[in-house]
Structure formats: C-alpha cells, structure tokens
Amino acid sequence: MSEQINIRFYEELNDFLPQEQRKTDFRHELKQSRSIKDLIESIGVPHTEIDLIIVNGESVDFNYLVHDSDHISVYPVFESLDISPLNHCQSKPLRNTCFVLDTHLGRLAAYLRMLGFDTLYRNDYDDPELARISVDEHRILLTCDRQLLMRKQITHGYFVRSRQPQQQLLEVLLRFDLFNNQRPFTRCMDCNGKIRAVDKQSIENLLPPDAKKYYNEFFQCEMCNKIYWKGSHYQKMKKMIERVNEC
Ligand SMILES: [Zn+2]
C-alpha cells in the first residue's frame, strides 16, 4: 500500500517540523492504515499540542483513520477564535504560558522553570527591555514594580504581591490557572533551557564522585549542559511541588 495525504500544520506546531515543511502544505506517504494521532506524531508533532484537526473540511478527533488523498490541517489551541462547535482534541487547552520576570524575582523564575514554564529572567534587564520582551514575545510580565506595569505598551502583566518566593509561585499558578499545565523538571532552573535524559556513559567524567556512585539516571540541559540527577535537591523540590499543589 502506498498512498499519499496532504497535510499542513499551523502556528507554533511548525516548531516541531523541519524547515521545508513549515507553514506549507506537504505530501506525506501513508505506508499503513493508521489513526490521525499516530500519523501526526510520526511526523514529529506531539498530540498534546493540538486542539483542532480538519480533514477535507470537517473536524475530526484523534481516532480518525486516515485515507488516501486526505487533505489535513492541524491547529494548536486557539487563543480567541471561538471554535466551540468544532471537535476539540484537548478537553483543556494546553497553550503554553510564558513569562518574563523583573530583576527582583530570581527565585520565582527558578521555581517557574522547575515547573516547566518558559521563563526569561536576567538580573540586568532594565525596564524598557522587560517591556519590549513582554510585548514582542507575548510573554506575561511578572513584576514587583507597579510603575512598570503602567507602561502603555504592556498588555499582559501581573503585579506579584508576596515577597516570599514559594508564595509568589502559588500566586502565579492561581492567577493564571496553571495547575494543570505543569511539567515539572523539564526545564533548566539556571538558564530556562530544555532538559533531556542522557546516558550515564556520555557524561560520566563530568559527575561528582557521589553522583557517579549512587545514581544511574541523568538529565542534561540542552542549552547550558548542566547535569541533573534525582539527588537530595530533587527530593526537596519534589516536596515543595507537592506542597504548592495541595494549596
Ligand atoms: Zn541550563
């Protein structure tokens, strides 16, 4: 069986595709009968990122069986367009919420990254820079500076009330309803890079003696190469996450 379909991915779903397949229709060979969920994931886009699939003009769910010559459009979670009559793939939208934080919120930045939220923070961002990043990159600006939020161009911001970092984290989770969007330990707390599992062998020479002796599972930041393992620091963080989620 050798059949072909036509497929196109929209908006941020293109992030998962090689350059030549982005923002364009492309043909894909159908080697076997499969569900649309399988097909999309085989192309490289995780189903959790998808909210709407249109095949030949009609919305379908993940179980739809793909046919020869199907014309498929795949969309992420919509922000404002009302698509409620259509067949949503996600019961709860998973649109990624991302942040930029002012210079006083370093600890909160680390905690948000710990929960997997895309969080920009540097201790030398000045106010115009923070405002520019928030607007240009559609990031929610978190700040303890009320004046900064009064800048005209800021459309998405939040004034952090508490001075206590764990309390601040809880505030942000509540304010933006993020409890179901957490992906703990998928982002580097130092640099905001993504973390992936690595073979012990490939990083063995970089490990402190105890980590080398007692642990076999390791993760590494794709950006700064920092290595993580499930030691005492991890256990402490895990307890903190549990506490925050109990509130
Ligand atoms: Zn890093």
Q: Residue 192 Cα, ligand 1 centroid: separation in angstroms?
A: 6
Per-residue model confidence as pLDDT tens digits over 29-85: 998 889 998 899 889 887 766 789 999 999 999 899 999 999 999 997 554 445 556
Pair 190, 224: CB distance under 8 Å:
yes
Q: Residue 162 Cα, ligand 1 centroid: separation in angstroms?
A: 27
Q: Residue 101 Cα, ligand 1 centroid: separation in angstroms?
A: 17
Q: Residue 166 Cα, ligand 1 centroid: separation in angstroms?
A: 21
| Mean pLDDT, rounded, for 132-156 | 83
Per-residue model confidence as pLDDT tens digits over 8-45: 999 878 987 999 999 999 999 998 889 998 899 889 88
Q: Residue 27 Cα, ligand 1 centroid: separation in angstroms?
A: 37
Pair 75, 52: CB distance under 8 Å:
yes
Q: What share of the chain is helix, strand, coil (3-state, %, to 5)?
A: 35, 20, 45
Q: Residue 69 Cα, ligand 1 centroid: separation in angstroms?
A: 44
Per-residue model confidence as pLDDT tens digits over 214-239: 999 999 999 999 999 999 999 999 99
Instruction: Using alpha carbons, list the distances in angstroms from residue 155 to 150, 152, 184, 221, 228.
Output: 10, 8, 28, 32, 36
Q: Is the pLDDT of residue 247 over 80?
A: no
Q: Residue 112 Cα, ligand 1 centroid: separation in angstroms?
A: 14
Q: Residue 40 Cα, ligand 1 centroid: separation in angstroms?
A: 29
Q: Residue 232 Cα, ligand 1 centroid: separation in angstroms?
A: 19
